Amino acid sequence: MHQLILAIITSGLLYQETRKLPNHFPYFWLKQEVIDPTGLLLSFMNKQQVILVNEADEPTGFMDKLEAHQKALLHRAFSVFIFNSRGEMLLHQRAEYKYHSPGLWTNACCSHPSPGEETLKAAKRRLQEELGFTTELTALFSFVYKHDFDNGLSEYEFDHVFTGIYNGEVFPDNTEVKDYAYRQPAAIAGSLSQHPEQYTVWFAMAFPRVKEWADKQRWA
């Protein structure tokens, strides 16, 4: 991991904070100070490509990530749900300057495979990048969802859901993760019902089917 001093605006005050950035981050774009971290992440998005697909998940082309979210084009994605041996689900709270859904709680990690990258390998890669660990993952189901955000961007994804078991230490990347916690699925269901605004849209859609799977497992 590299380190960079980012200038962050919080409560109207400008201060400097050391942030760890992922190894794949394009450091050659960066200046010593960055006034708008969200804008920086949007610039990074514009250099990443996603796989455009049809509703059968068949590739139809590639496009820069930012453009795909601006045009609301269907693209391949994945969501990883991690449990420990007690059956508790790992949640993380998204960093406050994410380009959408900042500060909301969601599953362990989610992202997009790159052109030519297998979805399972991409899911394992992203788990390592965001939470600092790897574990075996199993495909559970897939679904398509579309949601428009207030900032003019949209998510329109063919989302592959994976599950895995992990009992070790978590090493979150604080450019992606504000906080994390393990919670029993029943407790999450109650919180999601009472406070849906605290969770991401895709998590709320996928969670019931993941919980149904988890309820059938024999946990320690």
Active-site annotation holds for 157: yes
Hey, how many other C-beta atoms are within 10 angstroms of the C-beta on 174? 13
Query: Rounded to an integer, what distance in angstroms lies between the CA atom of residue 52 and that of residue 116?
Result: 12
Beta bridge partners, 80, equal 109, 162
> What is the reported pLDDT for 17?
37
99 and 179 inside one domain = yes
Question: What's the structural domain count of the chain?
Answer: 2
Token pair, residue 156, equals 């329109």
In a domain, 26, yes or no: yes
Tokens 């089917």 appear where?
A: 209
Residue 220 forms part of a structural domain:
no
CA distance 115 to 76: 10
Q: What span, in angstroms and rounded, lies between the C-alpha atoms of 38 and 81? A: 26
Rounded Cα distance between 48 and 165, Å, is: 29
Give SS3 for 152.
coil
Question: In this structure, are 33 and 70 located in the same domain?
Answer: no
16 and 109: one domain? no
Question: Is 80 exceeded by the pLDDT of residue 24?
Answer: no
Enumerate the β-bridge partners of residue 63. Answer: 50
Strand partners, 177: 94
- Which among 88, 130, 155, 157 is annotated as catalytic? 157
- Which residue segment(s) compose the domain that 95 sits in? 50-215
Determine the pLDDT at residue 2.
34
Q: What are phi and psi of 175, to 5 degrees?
A: -80, -15
Is the pLDDT at 182 greater than 50, yes or no?
yes
Same domain for 97 and 75: yes
Same domain, 118 and 27: no
Is 109 part of the annotated catalytic residue set?
no
Question: Who has greater pLDDT, 11 or 75?
Answer: 75
The arithmetic mean of pLDDT across residues 135-149, rounded, is: 97
Per-residue confidence (pLDDT) for residue 38, from 0 to 100: 46
Greater pLDDT, 155 or 6: 155
Rounded CA separation 82/75 (Å): 23
Q: What residues form DSSP beta bridges with 110?
A: 79
Q: How confident is the model over 26-54, as pLDDT tens digits? A: 433 333 334 444 454 444 444 689 999 99
What mean pLDDT, rounded, does the chain reach?
84
Catalytic residue, candidates 109, 110, 129, 155: 110
